[in-house]
Amino acid sequence: MIIEEELDKSILDEIGNFDTLKRIFHRVNLDKKINALFEQANLVSIGRLGYTDHGKIHAKIVARNGLRILRILEKNGIRPNVVKEKIGEREDAYIVVFLGAYFHDIGMALNRKMHELLGVIVASPFIRRILSNFLDEEKTEKMYAMIEECILCHMGEFSPTTLEAGVVEVADGTDITEGRARIPFKLGKEDIHSFSTIAIKRVNILEGEFKPLRIEVEMDCFAGVFQVEEILLRKIKNSGLEKFIELIAKVKEKEEKIVRYL
């Protein structure tokens, strides 16, 4: 069971000493309008369609994992576009990833179909307002565009042009553990998506052995392979980050077996 307070703590651990990002996190976390849209997104996703979590918990998991992925890549000398293109400083890159990840599924409040495009529209006033409270006008507009690209590209229909958008797409793909399918499964949703997700127990995001980043998926049976191949691997390949990532699946049936994808 995912406890939101523990998830918040892990996000703050990833944020570290970035004070502006810390204030942004607390602000969006307590925003009643944003929280209402997350509730609506899950009403559409789980209540009406029987899909997996697309609400606040999923948003926070993706945000935490995105910050972790960016930190590991940066530690290995891979610079985000915000820094490389002199749009802002290191913290600004983390702000882009955090807000892009946090709002990536907000379009589900309207509809599943093309929800990444809908999300760009729904998130727009929130992103502009948040950034304008902390940044000057020029940086606000540039980072706004980059955050919107993160939302636009997370489903793989559009290819990211920045490291930050690629990070958000991969981070979205890492939330494939059993907890995400718990509610629809209890409500009677029994298909390959729910069975596959329930098979996955943990996703570890680590420094790699042969590449900068290693993603390990732990599952208790081979049903979880569907999620790895159809969701996570597909997002990695579209993200532009494939060259930086090792992807491993560990299957614990009678004995542990390891499937290496990248």
| Fold of the domain built from segment(s) 4-260 | Catalytic domain of cyclic nucleotide phosphodiesterase 4b2b (1.10.1300)
- pLDDT band for 1, please (50, 70, 90 cuts): low
Res 187: pLDDT: 46
Measured between alpha carbons, how far is 163 from 173 in angstroms, rounded to an integer?
A: 15
Q: What percent of the chain has pLDDT over 90?
A: 82
- pLDDT band for 105, please (50, 70, 90 cuts): very high
Res 183: pLDDT: 46
* Helix, coil or strand: residue 136: coil
For helices 115-132 and 90-102, angle between their N-to-C axes, nearest 10 degrees = 140
What is the side-by-side strand order in the sheet with 256-260?
Answer: 200-207, 213-219, 245-252, 256-260
Give the CA dihedral 2, 14, 12, 170, nearest 10 degrees: -50
Strands (E), 45-117: none
pLDDT in tens, 231-255: 999 999 999 999 999 999 999 876 7
Strands (E), 130-244: 200-207, 213-219
Q: Are 169 and 235 in contact (CB under 8 A)?
A: yes
Res 83: pLDDT: 98
Beta carbons within 8 Å of 202's beta carbon, 6+ residues apart: 177, 217, 218
Res 97: pLDDT: 99
Give the CA dihedral 69, 65, 25, 6, nearest 10 degrees: -130
pLDDT in tens, 167-186: 999 999 999 887 555 444 44
- pLDDT band for 156, please (50, 70, 90 cuts): very high
1 vs 65 pLDDT, higher one: 65
Task: Please name which of 190, 218, 220 lies closest in space to residue 203, comparing C-alpha atoms.
Answer: 218
Measured between alpha carbons, how far is 206 from 232 in angstroms, rounded to an integer?
A: 16
188: pLDDT strictly greater than 60: no
Res 222: pLDDT: 85
Q: Are 213 and 74 in contact (CB under 8 A)?
A: no
pLDDT in tens, 3-28: 899 999 999 999 999 999 999 999 99
Q: Are 242 and 262 in contact (CB under 8 A)?
A: yes
pLDDT in tens, 47-82: 999 888 899 999 999 999 999 999 999 999 999 999
Rg of the chain over CA atoms, in angstroms? 17
Domain boundaries, the chain: 4-260
38-42, 112-116, 179-183, 233-237: range with lowest mean pLDDT: 179-183
Q: How far is CA 97 from CA 1, 150, 244, in A?
A: 26, 8, 17
- pLDDT band for 190, please (50, 70, 90 cuts): low
Chain position carrying tokens 């892990």 = 10
